Structure 1
């Protein structure tokens, strides 16, 4: 007799939790063993293959392709889904920071945070280059285009100002993290070191000649 319990939402969530954790651990250890550049190349190969495998498995399980599901939904629902996933990404970043802060202290949490961004930002830039089909060195125009497809581009309010032939200023005008802290009566999070790490890694991946200050 089959005594297996029906699959629940919690079961599906647990699968996603372990899937993303395992994928991330592979990426982290690849950076440790091979270096960031080689690890990004490996992620490109593995990620492209994994997307096709996952899409095929979901199609067989649901009897319809994920793309067909999105095509049949109204655009507002699709936009809300995208926003829900992006904001969940940001929430995951936040709860990890808080967990490390509670386990250790703010300094340790910031160190872990900065290390994560030093690896994720180049990955995010690589994905932007693939999506936008940017050349190896896309210049400032390539950087501006890539910034528009970042996760944060859909979550925070931002602007590009003071443009010259060789530079521009990128400014966050409304950051979800800082706004949430203000609502809770907390001081601003000291994000400068993390921000420089994040945007330096992103910019250099778009074009190695670009400097972020």
Structure 2
């Protein structure tokens, strides 16, 4: 007989996997734009149902649509929680990459990684766009705001070099993944192919007029001051 604690954790794991599979298959069946619309509706509905049901089952009160313990949490703990959630997200990405790499090699792991980014980056942009209540064509100002709300923004260090109406350059000045490789004496992970998918699709979801240019990203050479750099402008 399985232990209930093990089943509780595995039910959570299966739920996350099933949710992700639904989104991936929706993209395949109806295309990314409609899948993003469907995710917004389904995700909002599911989260409200799940939180209310979990609160009732565990005897936790709700406050302003949230479990009371979260609604009343002080800002310092919320900041720490956001960082932990972001690090856990990155860990999930890393262990999946390693699991595929050990079984099928670097080439297939990178292909899987790049495809995941082609789905996740627009999803993340769409979620941030909804949370910030950005217009459909949010412009460069909208993109700047959105970049500050990414999961990466909680665990990496980044900066923006503004060029006014002409555009702006976004630089990742510290990267958790590359820092870990440096500590192990390893070369930079060659993330340019995934980065091109990631940043281009993110910016295009915020505003389809935005054009993305890779200035440099590993395996490209880069200065010590930053790891990768991307330039954004409104297309002519």
Same fold (TM over 0.5): yes
Matched residue, 1:17: 13
2:38 counterpart of 1:42: yes
Distance in 2 of aligned mates of 1:86 and 1:50: 21
Residues 129 and 206 of structure 1 are in contact (CA less than 8 Å); yes or no, is this contact kept in structure 2? yes
Q: Taking structure 1 as the reference length, what is the TM-score of the superposition?
A: 0.93
- Indicate the SS of the match to 2:158: strand
Matched residue, 1:120: 120
> Gaps (5+ residues) in structure 1?
none
Matched residue, 2:178: 178
- Indicate the SS of the match to 2:187: coil
More strand by share: 2
Query: RMSD in angstroms over aligned alpha carbons?
Result: 1.5
Matched residue, 1:7: 4
Q: Taking structure 2 as the reference length, what is the TM-score of the superposition?
A: 0.84
Residues 162, 5 of structure 1: alpha-carbon distance in 2 compared, 3 angstrom cutoff: closer
Shift of 1:6: 6.0
More helix by share: 1
* Greater shift in the superposed pair: 52-61 or 158-167: 158-167
Matched residue, 1:201: 201
Distance in 2 of aligned mates of 1:187 and 1:17: 33
Aligned residues: 209
Residues 140 and 166 of structure 1 are in contact (CA less than 8 Å); yes or no, is this contact kept in structure 2? no
Shift of 1:202: 0.4
Distance in 1 of aligned mates of 2:90 and 2:140: 26
- Indicate the SS of the match to 2:68: helix
Distance in 1 of aligned mates of 2:140 and 2:78: 31
Matched residue, 2:165: 165
Distance in 1 of aligned mates of 2:192 and 2:127: 24
Shift of 1:119: 0.8
Residues 182, 61 of structure 1: alpha-carbon distance in 2 compared, 3 angstrom cutoff: same
Distance in 1 of aligned mates of 2:9 and 2:85: 13
Shift of 1:162: 4.3
Distance in 1 of aligned mates of 2:101 and 2:89: 19
> Gaps (5+ residues) in structure 2?
214-236
